[in-house]
């Protein structure tokens, strides 16, 4: 009886450790919503070396997401979630912008990525 | 004409040439074909329909430039508008109205031939339908006195690409040219990555340039960035023109791209158009930047940058 209790407790610990390991491996998700002519949020702060997944969605029409400093570009479509993995390897302030012409205000559709140590 | 060339060369070397810029100076051939020399005018980014503080004379600037072009003692062989003829609008009816008005205004040019190509403001929201209805094809070629002109459309696809179909068309057209034929490309957006952070690029521009690369004398004239800019990729030269609505800052010079504010003490500053002298026998061009009113721009700093 006692041995069974110990085994059960050990199994719980192992399971908890597995959950923790899985949690540590899961990159943080940063959701960015595109809508004429803004990104929300328009400013994102990440840590150098921290893996994240940018989750991009559009609330109206096709937009673009271009982050040249990290060689990232993708279309952002309505009713679709676009996931882009990113592990910043440098610090600084970088611009991302819509590169699919979306109307008067397209030029204003930009955002800032800040990468800190 | 040799005398003229020497005078320009002297001015260039002396840094006194005002807005005169030599293009395709790598040429080393003969002066044959000098009788074919001609000049044309490039107007760009007129954004007809725009209203706002960056240009309190939005409806007057283009007519003033046209008046100045019409006042040239030697009329150009043709005038080309390199895109963003009209300012974009979601309203298809208004877009058509702006294009009609623009045509009427441009129709006041004395030059017998006026050519148009679209910018994303004209064509990006309807894949070029309204532009084609008012101005015809969005990509085409024409030959003038020995120069082969190629008009490339990198805006009708809202993703700002030339596109596979047009690249194949370009390849087929170039297959008919001699490698030393003088070629001028007219397009709206830069074909190279000028500053992608501000969307100053064409996604598949490199593919178009790769097709043009084997040709010895290729010069690209474009607009989009609302300022004069000169750049070389390999041996291909790229020259952007000023706008006739509002200037934009130099690439990456400010955190966020926005029109340069109107300066009431220097109205129309940063706006203008250009005359381009073509030397088909040499495969070269000479650019003279003009203010809206037609005065010659003095840009010693730019010249130093180009010639340095």
Whether a cis peptide bond, with omega within 30° of 0, leads into A41 is yes
Written as six digits, the tokens of A25 are 């491996």
Q: What is the predicted pLDDT for the residue at A26?
A: 87
Q: How far apart are CA A87 and CA A82, in angstroms?
A: 17
Domain boundaries, chain B: 37-112+123-270+281-307
Task: Give all strands of the β-sheet with B273-279 in edge-to-edge order.
Answer: B20-23, B284-290, B273-279, B38-43, B78-82, B114-117
User: Which letter does DSSP use for residue B295 in this model?
Assistant: P
pLDDT digits (tens, 9 = 90+) for B218-232: 999 999 999 999 999
CATH superfamily for A27-116 is Cupredoxins -  blue copper proteins (2.60.40.420)
Report d(CA B268, CA B65) in Å as an integer.
11
Respond yes or no on whether the N-terminal peptide bond of residue B24 is cis (omega within 30° of 0): no
Chain A's closest residue to B252, CA to CA, is A95
Assembly ipTM: 0.84
Whole-angstrom distance, CA of residue B228 vs CA of residue A99 = 22
By C-alpha distance, which of B111, B106, B42, B43 is closest to B74?
B111
Closest residue on chain B to A105 (Cα): B88
pLDDT single digits (tens) B99-156: 999 999 999 999 999 999 999 999 999 999 999 999 999 999 999 999 999 999 999 9
Continuous H helices in B15-128: 58-70, 92-106, 120-123
- Do the Cβ atoms of A98 and B199 come within 8 Å? yes
> Is the torsion defined by CA of B163, B169, B174, B175 positive or negative?
positive
Tens digit of each residue's pLDDT (9 = 90 or more) over A5-48? 445 444 444 444 444 444 557 899 999 999 999 999 999 999 99
Task: State how far the alpha carbon of B208 is from the alpha carbons of B76, B195, B230, in Å.
Answer: 28, 18, 18
Kindly report the pTM of this predicted structure.
0.86
State residue B296's pLDDT score: 82
Which residues of chain A lie closer than 8 angstroms to B155, CB-CB? 101
Q: Is B6 in the A-facing interface, judged by CB distances under 8 Å?
A: no
Count of Cβ atoms closer than 10 Å to residue B96 Cβ: 16
Of B90, B197, B255, the CB nearest to A103: B90
d(CA B22, CA B41): 15
**Domain map of chain A by residue range?**
27-116
CATH 3.60.21.10 assigned to domain B37-112+123-270+281-307? The reply is: yes
Question: Within the 57-96 window of chain B, which residues sit less than 8 Å (CB to CB) from chain A?
Answer: 87-90
With an 8 Å Cβ cutoff, are A99 and B90 in contact? no
């Amino acid at each position: 009886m006692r041995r069974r209790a110990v085994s059960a407790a050990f199994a719980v610990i192992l399971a908890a450790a597995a959950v923790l390991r899985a949690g540590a491996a899961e990159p943080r998700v940063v959701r960015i919503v595109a809508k004429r002519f803004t990104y929300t949020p328009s400013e994102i702060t990440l840590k150098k070396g921290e893996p994240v997944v940018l989750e991009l969605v559009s609330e109206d029409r096709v937009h673009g997401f271009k982050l040249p400093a990290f060689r990232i570009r993708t279309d952002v479509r309505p009713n679709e979630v676009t996931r882009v993995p990113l592990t910043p390897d440098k610090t600084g302030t970088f611009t991302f912008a819509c590169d699919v012409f979306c109307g008067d205000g397209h030029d204003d559709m930009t955002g800032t990525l800040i990468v800190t140590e | 004409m040799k005398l003229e060339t020497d005078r320009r060369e002297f001015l260039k070397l002396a840094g006194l040439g005002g807005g005169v810029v030599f293009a395709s100076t790598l040429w080393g051939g003969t002066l044959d074909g000098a009788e074919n020399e001609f000049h044309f005018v490039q107007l760009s980014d007129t954004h007809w329909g725009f209203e706002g503080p960056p240009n309190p004379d939005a409806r007057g600037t283009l007519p003033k430039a046209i008046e100045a072009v019409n006042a040239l003692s030697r009329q150009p062989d043709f005038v080309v508008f390199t895109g963003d003829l009209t300012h974009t609008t979601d309203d298809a009816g208004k877009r058509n109205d702006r294009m009609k008005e623009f045509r009427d205004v441009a129709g006041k040019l004395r030059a017998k031939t006026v050519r148009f190509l679209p910018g994303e403001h004209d064509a990006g929201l309807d894949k070029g339908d309204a532009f084609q209805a008012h101005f015809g094809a969005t990509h085409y070629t024409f030959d003038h006195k020995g120069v082969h002109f190629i008009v490339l459309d990198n805006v009708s696809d809202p993703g700002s690409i030339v596109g596979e179909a047009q690249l194949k068309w370009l390849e087929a057209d170039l297959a008919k040219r001699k490698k030393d034929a003088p070629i001028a490309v007219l397009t709206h957006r830069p074909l190279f990555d000028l500053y992608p952070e501000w969307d100053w690029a064409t996604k598949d521009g490199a593919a178009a340039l790769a097709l043009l690369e084997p040709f010895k004398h290729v010069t690209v004239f474009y607009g989009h960035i609302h300022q004069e800019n000169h750049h070389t990729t390999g041996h291909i030269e790229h020259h952007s023109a000023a706008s006739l609505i509002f200037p934009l800052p130099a690439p990456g010079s400010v955190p966020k791209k926005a029109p340069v504010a109107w300066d009431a003490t220097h109205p129309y500053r940063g706006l203008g158009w250009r005359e381009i002298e073509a030397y088909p026998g040499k495969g070269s061009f000479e650019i003279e930047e003009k203010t809206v009113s037609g005065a010659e721009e003095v840009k010693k700093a730019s010249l130093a940058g180009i010639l340095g």
